[in-house]
Amino acid sequence: MNFRPTHLRTLASHVAEIWDDDVVDVLSSYVAIGCLSPDFDPSWADNGEIGRAARLLSAWAASRPLPGCAVEVVEREGLTPVIIADVPATPGAGTRLVTLLYGHLDKQPPLGSWREGLDAFVAVREGDRLYGRGTADDGYSIFAAIGALEALAVTGTPHGRCVVLIESSEESGSPHLGPYLDEVKARIPEPGPGLVICLDSGCATYDRLWNTISLRGSLVVTLSVEVLSEGVHSGMAGGVVPSSFRLLRQLISRIEDETTGEILVPECRAEPPARYRAAAETMAAELGDAAVGEFPTVPSLVLSGQTAADRLLRATWMPSLAVIGIDGVPSVSDGGNVLRPFTTAKLSLRLPPPLDPDRAGEAVVRTLSTDPPQGARVKVDVTSAARGFDAPAQAEWLARATDEASETLFGRRAGAMSEGGTIPFLAELASRFEDAQFLITGVLGPESNAHGPNEMLDLVTARRLTAAVAHVLASAP
């Protein structure tokens, strides 16, 4: 397609109409549904909230004026459902590549108190911001994917076949996705999709289209240290029976330097390649400390890393550890003078993109379980392991199309960024479709607060991103 800025602006105009007519209303109805991911709602099947959200979003997609579009909710026994919308190539599109567009509809729980006037499950619009759990992560995605295709249809713009896949277990690490990818692969003839557009990523700023070029992997481990069969008075046993917390602290120090935060297990480490160091330097030079993002730190806190580029690499490439949960510890108000029988910690490790998470998990288990301190009973379990993602270099046509969309819609050339989070779907898809191109983008920018309180969707960015997706689809060879 020969690029015409006026045509792209026409697409953007139709996208704005789609969003303004009813997307915000339907998205607000979706916010009210407590479709928590399976890890946070073990009774998801009985509660029916995930199915309710799938029906709402699929009904909206099926109602759109997309010639030949087939929308269905596919549900396999014991698995959360997916929405699949299959949009045929426009007549005369020729042998254009097939595009797979991905998003998810499951949510995180509220996770903390929301500010006055906001609620996780009540959509609140303040100007061009829509607050509510799931707005930006990742409820908007089906509206962006279908809205882009609708804008192409309304303007008579040719495009290749597109398959939209909206899953509902991503916030749990996508454990239910694999069988559905088999189904998608069966629907798309060899060699499979030539382009994958993932709409579940972030944007460092709202002033351009951002493409994520790498994501870290993740490893979640539970570590339990048991010293007693029941709690005993600390005045009687303290100093004789070792504290389970002290022993757990010793074990964690085997895998993390408690002074620097450096991960000590060799299988969890990798040096960033030169191209990622260069990308971090470029981004840091332009955005400064904002390249890493802003955090609600206490005023006296000293961040790790010497420079903005160093912090960016630490946040997107280097391994890190967070203790994300503890059992066996009473609240401060309930704590008595008791030597507790056990302490269990849930550890989350972020891994460099190219590492094998299973190999890293084996090494962590071995490091923590070998030679238990003072003969304590130590149990280590890997609860999830997800590979990171290192995107292939963009083809010339895709790089050109993203720059055209970004310059026309946002006013600046597209940017490239790495992220510290994990999208397991991407690594699995890359292994299945080795020749595919990837555009990994999203609306999770400053103050979007995904996974935290006050989650927010910037509606201006959502509209622009939708139009950018339409342009990329129209530009595909």
pLDDT tens for each residue of 90-106: 987 766 899 999 999 99
pLDDT tens for 250-277 read 999 999 999 999 999 999 999 998 888 8
Residue 77 and residue 113 in one domain: yes
pLDDT band at 1 (very low <50, low <70, confident <90, very high): low
Percent of the chain with pLDDT over 70: 99
Does 104 reside within a domain?
Answer: yes
**pTM for this entry:** 0.87
* Residue 330 in this model has a pLDDT that exceeds 70: yes
What is the CATH number for 239? 3.30.70.360
- Cis amide leading into 191 (omega within 30): yes
Residue 144 and residue 181 in one domain: yes
Last residue of a domain, one of 361, 386, 411: 386
Residue 211 and residue 115 in one domain: yes
Work out the mean pLDDT of the chain and round it to a whole number. 94
pLDDT tens for 276-294 read 888 889 899 988 888 887 7
What is the domain range of residue 142? Answer: 5-215+388-475
Does 298 reside within a domain?
Answer: no
pLDDT band at 458 (very low <50, low <70, confident <90, very high): very high
Last residue of a domain, one of 351, 368, 386: 386
- Give me 49's structure tokens: 């909230």
pLDDT for 286 equals 87
Read off the pLDDT of each residue in 12-34 and give the average, rounded to a whole number.
Answer: 96
Residue 238 and residue 375 in one domain: yes
pLDDT tens for 201-227 read 989 899 999 999 999 999 999 999 999
Residue 143 and residue 260 in one domain: no
Domain count of the chain?
A: 2
Among 90-94, 139-143, 411-415, whose mean pLDDT is lowest? 90-94
Last residue of a domain, one of 366, 386, 406: 386
Cβ atoms within 10 Å of 124's Cβ, excluding its own: 17
